[in-house]
Structure 1
Amino acid sequence: MTGFIHSLESMGLVDGPGVRAVVFLQGCPLRCLYCHNPDTQSFSGGQETTPEALVKRLLRFRPYFDPSGGGVTFSGGEPLGQPDFLLECLKLLKAEGVHTCIDTSGAGRGDYEDILKYTDLVLYDVKHHQREGYRKITGLEMDRTLSFVEAVRKANVPMWVRHVVVPGLTDNPEHLTSLSEYIATLPRVEKVELLPYHTLGVHKYQTLGIPYPLEGVPPMDKTKLETWNRQLNETCCRNTNN
């Protein structure tokens, strides 16, 4: 079996607890308006590798992530877009006692149940919590992500929730209040992170010769999210047994 990775980060500090090796898998079915990695969207391309070769490479970073309580995070693209490859990598890492995390929007395919057996933490990227908004942002329906949430609930895997806040799109109080109510229904939420929209990936669109969907939208001022971040963590992370 082989899979395709876009890139690998050896000292990730924001993709789960501790210092982490982060694997960016190639391919994503979504076409989010604010995607800052359009080069990971296509399922063709990337570096081909086997689970065994990738895990052997990842274990070289163990002296960095073990002492910090870190581990390995699979991101993308969409890691659930290569479910068989992801599953085999997770199995090998768990056999080595490594803490595993998947950074996902839940828009994958395959058997979530098996993957979640070998996952210690889910970083769940909430694109939008309502169907119309989800469709507008991603270009797809949200049935896959809803199925994923129910699989996480059944597997009882802890979750950190992430949500990108875009000026004029997802930054109004009504949206954030409704989002808070939705997050409160999710299983085992330990942390909420409102992420400010940025334009650091715009040059990638120019390089690829494709139009940028949010041309002219300014970056989100992260200081404006501080109060909301605090409120969401206070209200949504109290009950982790939903």
Structure 2
Amino acid sequence: MTLGSVHSLETMGLVDGPGVRVVVFLQGCALRCRFCHNPDTWEADSGEQVTPQELLHRIVRCKPYFVRSGGGVTFSGGEPLLQPEFLLETLRLCREADIHTCLDTAGCGRGMYDEILRYTDLVLYDVKQVTEESYRKLTGRDWTETGRFLQAVRRAGTPVWVRHVVVPGLTDSEAHMAALRAFVSAHVPNVQKVELLPYHLLGVQKYKTMGLMYPLAGVPAMDTEQVKTWQARYFDSLDGSKSNRCKK
């Protein structure tokens, strides 16, 4: 029997893919991003143990709400690709139930990418950084694995929405925005849209509660108006970037 470790479910998500969505947060992540606001999802051996069939039952109960909006289910985390067998089986069940699926990922899993993408309608791909050195400093890992994932996305032809966190002092300059656009154009296939996400402080209390040091202590929240300006200047002109719809 295949079991997965689920951190939590959000039943009315509005920002993780098109339409209203059920967002499934899976346990486990190999990265330690300095701006991570979900440290409670890092450990793989915690969370609720469920079967794909049990998880599908919970998702289907919300189907009347998300179908009318063009929504579906988004698998997030943590890093959902660290539970490939469970994820694949759940994605297959969602396809059989005619439920639109999104994969919210940094592309750092344990393989089976081609099989998983066969049942994935949309990838929400988190670009952490645009050079290998800066990627390692931000995440604590090299980017070999995420490169493998992007190769699989290219083979599959799965539509991609790129997401990138804008952090004061790290990723908040004109030069970085130009480099990000160049990186996406060169390395990320099938891009429909790029979303810049302003860094926020909502995860600070979690670190305190868990007794962890917060890596970006003292860094203020990102100016949302500046992010909107960069969004319009660098990314809204990309082909498909103004479309909020994606095809199965």
Q: TM-score range by the shorter chain?
A: over 0.9
Superposition pairs for residues 28-47 of structure 1, below 5 Å?
28-47=29-48
**Residues 175-216 of structure 1, C-alpha deviations (whole Å, 9 max, x = no match):** 111011111122111111110001111000001101000000
Aligned length: 239
Residue 233 of structure 1, CA deviation: 2.7
Tell me, yes or no, if the aligned pair for 1:15 and 1:103 is still in contact at 8 Å.
yes
Quick check: 69-78 or 176-185, which moved more?
Answer: 176-185
| 1-structure distance, mates of 2:215, 2:235 | 31
**Residues 72-120 of structure 1, C-alpha deviations (whole Å, 9 max, x = no match):** 0000000001011000000000011110000000011121000000000
Aligned residue in 1 for 2:221: 219
Aligned residue in 2 for 1:209: 211
Aligned residue in 2 for 1:159: 160
Residue 47 of structure 1, CA deviation: 0.5
Residue 236 of structure 1, CA deviation: 3.4
Residue 238 of structure 1, CA deviation: 5.6
| 2-structure distance, mates of 1:225, 1:158 | 24
Where do 5+ consecutive residues of structure 2 fail to align? 242-248
Matched, 1:139 2:156: no
| 2-structure distance, mates of 1:110, 1:56 | 26
Tell me, yes or no, if the aligned pair for 2:193 and 2:240 is still in contact at 8 Å.
no
**Residues 28-61 of structure 1, C-alpha deviations (whole Å, 9 max, x = no match):** 0000000001000111110100000000111000
Aligned residue in 1 for 2:174: 173
Where do 5+ consecutive residues of structure 1 fail to align? none
Give 2:119's aligned amino acid: Y
Aligned residue in 2 for 1:233: 235
| 2-structure distance, mates of 1:238, 1:60 | 32
Give 1:168's aligned amino acid: G
Give 2:91's aligned amino acid: L
Backbone CA RMSD of aligned residues: 1.1
| 2-structure distance, mates of 1:236, 1:42 | 37
Determine helix, strand or coil for the equivalent of 2:7. strand
Tell me, yes or no, if the aligned pair for 2:103 and 2:122 is still in contact at 8 Å.
yes
Tell me, yes or no, if the aligned pair for 1:113 and 1:155 is still in contact at 8 Å.
yes
**Residues 6-42 of structure 1, C-alpha deviations (whole Å, 9 max, x = no match):** 0000000000000000000001000000000100011
Superposition pairs for residues 1-242 of structure 1, below 5 Å?
1-185=2-186, 186-237=188-239
Determine helix, strand or coil for the equivalent of 2:193. strand
Residue 232 of structure 1, CA deviation: 3.1
| 1-structure distance, mates of 2:240, 2:98 | 29
Residue 174 of structure 1, CA deviation: 1.1
Determine helix, strand or coil for the equivalent of 1:7. strand
What's the TM-score once normalised by structure 2's chain length? Answer: 0.94
Tell me, yes or no, if the aligned pair for 1:184 and 1:237 is still in contact at 8 Å.
no
Tell me, yes or no, if the aligned pair for 1:180 and 1:236 is still in contact at 8 Å.
no
Give 1:198's aligned amino acid: H
Tell me, yes or no, if the aligned pair for 1:183 and 1:236 is still in contact at 8 Å.
no
